[in-house]
Structure 1
Amino acid sequence: MDRYERILSLHRILKTARYPVTVARLREELECSRATVYRDLAFLRDALMAPVVGDGEAGFRYDAEEAGRFELPGLWLNSDELHALLAAQQLLARSGGGVLSSALAPLQARIEKLLDEHSAGKRWPVERVRVIPHRGRRMDEQAFRTVCSAVLQRRQLAFDYRARSTDEKTRRTVSPQRVTHYRDNWYLDAWDHDREGLRSFSVDRISAARVLDATARDLDEAELDRQLAGSYGIFSGPARGVATIVFSAKAARWVADEHWHSQQQGRHLPDGRYELKVPFSASRELLMDVLHYGADAEIVDPPALREQAKSLLQLALSNYER
């Protein structure tokens, strides 16, 4: 353990200790000699102004009144945290289609500087962290930043919106509630003032966005979750039913570990198959995910949803009968 990590570990030990910590324990925790423990304690107290009290016989700790207020100056990370930060930095840099690139450029530069300082000239193999965006859509960075500003400033927002389902362009005035990242894409949950209801908007379909002076109407978090997270998918609405899907024993090895919905119920069947129950309102997104599993998934209930899946499969099959 190098000195940087020893100082960080020593700080964390003393900050969380309820009783004085002996030098013997510090030697064991820091993997160093008795003399090194005393040097590090002196550096922590004299150079970093830590509230270290105690002695070699009774042990050391932070002064109880000062411990809660004291933190190491600057940003201190151990190797594991630094490696995790490096992975997160690569995730930011390589995902999202570059929509956050310019806004986060100063932060990324500071992260890279921190990595360089800690590596002592050693090159970090960033290519070992692989990020593969999946079906992310192109998005206007300025529109995204305007949407986020309106959400955080709690101001109303006006924008042009072209619905993907109808390709119709409309002008909307909304009270933004929150932004949601879902399946590599961003959505805005908002109260639509013209339609007097909650709506979810795909941010990549928003243009000419402008933050207004008017204060946004705030909706209770519980109401937002009831309306927008109560059933399956991003454009869910209140749940109108529960779908029961049975997966083959082979697919069960994947599905049993997957999160489909916050209120899902799953169980292994005696023959090795897996039964999953999820609340849903609109069926389109749920059907898409079930059909992704092909012959390894079967919708058992409700009958109407089962018939929808059957019709879609028949239509798909007809494409191959020419």
Structure 2
Amino acid sequence: MQKTSSRLLALLSLLQARPEWSGDDLAERLEVTVRTVRRDIDRLRALGYPVATDKGPGGGYRLRPGSQMPPLLFDDEQVIALAVALQSTAHPAIAEDADRALATIRNVLPPRLRQRIDALHVTTVRPPGPGAPPAQDLDLLTTVSTAIQRREVLRLDYAPHQEAAPQPRRVEPHHLVAWRTHWYLLAWDLDRDDWRTFRTDRMTPRTPTGPRFTARQLPGGDVSTFVTSRFRGSDGTEAAWPCQGEAILDLPASEVAPHTAGGIVEPLGPTRCRVITGSWSWTTLAASLGRFDANLHVIGPPALRQACATLARRYAAATTTEPRRLDAPNR
């Protein structure tokens, strides 16, 4: 038989792994009697773990939420997963708290696990962009998350861009999404009768919240696909860019890759590379490929070649046509 301390840890691990256990199942897993299980349950309660007992033929034991957070028990792989997840936290709203949590976990680990965590050090790199991302108020995120959980209409003041004056909106909140350097609320806009994304740092929730609502079905059913698609100018059901093309550039892949976020850059030698990327329109895609100071060969599709030809005519005309005076009459 295991020592009492080891058996208590094993019992706690079982209670954390499943919503409910019968006394017989716990006794079988721990290789003890049901009476010993009952005594060990009492010991866990004395240590502050809120173990509830459901009496009757179908009853059992379950670990319920308590007023205070007791010590938790994790196996080796769970500890590693937690450490990697905390290291991967890039958003400034919780980065400092994540660092403190990781330090707390690391300080109590045995050397063998500490070495594994140090060996799996992760650095999260934010996408390049102007300025630093704004810190987000955790109270606001909590307010929004609570409205999502309770399915209550959220009333808010929202500024679509930095210079705009906030306008009142009424939405059915569905998901809180972290996209690159910002948090967004995905919601059904009751005034515009459509799905919308709202940057949380530009919104101010009002209290009290509105009435409860029945959750709508998100087009496509997948939050990640829907949000990615919307940001890429599609209808929300496909995460891929609506316009995708392939070209060869006379530049090293290392010089092209930093400027093709979300695209594929394949080296074809020291001075050439293949680029597969996309955009919300063929003209925009052609312009993004043409911004590189290098020879360009379009592989396809034909729509991309046509867009490049259209831009070529426009650029050629821009260098040969005399600009019309702004005060000249239209003819």
SS at match of 2:233: coil
1:77 to 75, 78, 82: 75
1:87 to 80, 84, 88: 84
Report the Cα distance in structure 1 between the residues aligned to 2:312 and 2:220, rounded to whole angstroms: 31
Gaps of 5+ in 2: 1-5, 18-27, 38-60, 64-70, 319-331
Query: For 1:193-233, what per-residue CA distance to the aligned partner results, in whole angstroms no more than 9, with x for missing partners?
Result: 11111111112211244461412352213356699738756
TM-superposed deviation, 1:179: 1.9
Question: Measured at CA, do residues 288 and 233 of structure 1 come closer, stay the same or move farther in structure 2, by a change above 3 Å?
Answer: farther
Query: For 1:65-103, what per-residue CA distance to the aligned partner results, in whole angstroms no more than 9, with x for missing partners?
Result: xxxx999x952321x5423322322333xx21134767x
* Greater Rg over alpha carbons, structure: 2
SS at match of 1:216: coil
Q: Contact 1:231–1:238 at 8 Å: present in 2 too? A: no
TM-superposed deviation, 1:157: 0.8
- Does 1:246 pair with 2:244? no
> 1:55 maps to what in 2?
none
Report the Cα distance in structure 2 between the residues aligned to 1:309 and 1:99, rounded to whole angstroms: 48
Gaps of 5+ in 1: 16-41, 50-68, 316-322
> 2:20 maps to what in 1?
none
1:96 to 88, 91, 99: 91
Q: Contact 1:173–1:194 at 8 Å: present in 2 too? A: yes
TM-score relative to the length of structure 1: 0.52
- Does 1:175 pair with 2:166? no
> 1:189 maps to what in 2?
186
Q: Which amino acid aligns with 2:253?
A: A
TM-superposed deviation, 1:45: 3.1
Question: Measured at CA, do residues 86 and 180 of structure 1 come closer, stay the same or move farther in structure 2, by a change above 3 Å?
Answer: same
Could you tell me the percent identity over the aligned residues? 16
Report the Cα distance in structure 1 between the residues aligned to 2:231 and 2:219, rounded to whole angstroms: 16
Aligned residues: 244
Report the Cα distance in structure 1 between the residues aligned to 2:234 and 2:170, rounded to whole angstroms: 20
SS at match of 1:181: strand
Q: Contact 1:156–1:211 at 8 Å: present in 2 too? A: no
Question: Measured at CA, do residues 205 and 245 of structure 1 come closer, stay the same or move farther in structure 2, by a change above 3 Å?
Answer: farther
Question: Measured at CA, do residues 193 and 222 of structure 1 come closer, stay the same or move farther in structure 2, by a change above 3 Å?
Answer: closer
TM-score relative to the length of structure 2: 0.51
> 1:31 maps to what in 2?
none
- Does 1:148 pair with 2:134? no
Farther-moved stretch of structure 1 (300-309 vs 194-203): 300-309
Q: Specify which structure has the bigger relative contact order, considering alpha-carbon pairs within 8 angstroms and separated by 6 or more residues.
A: 1
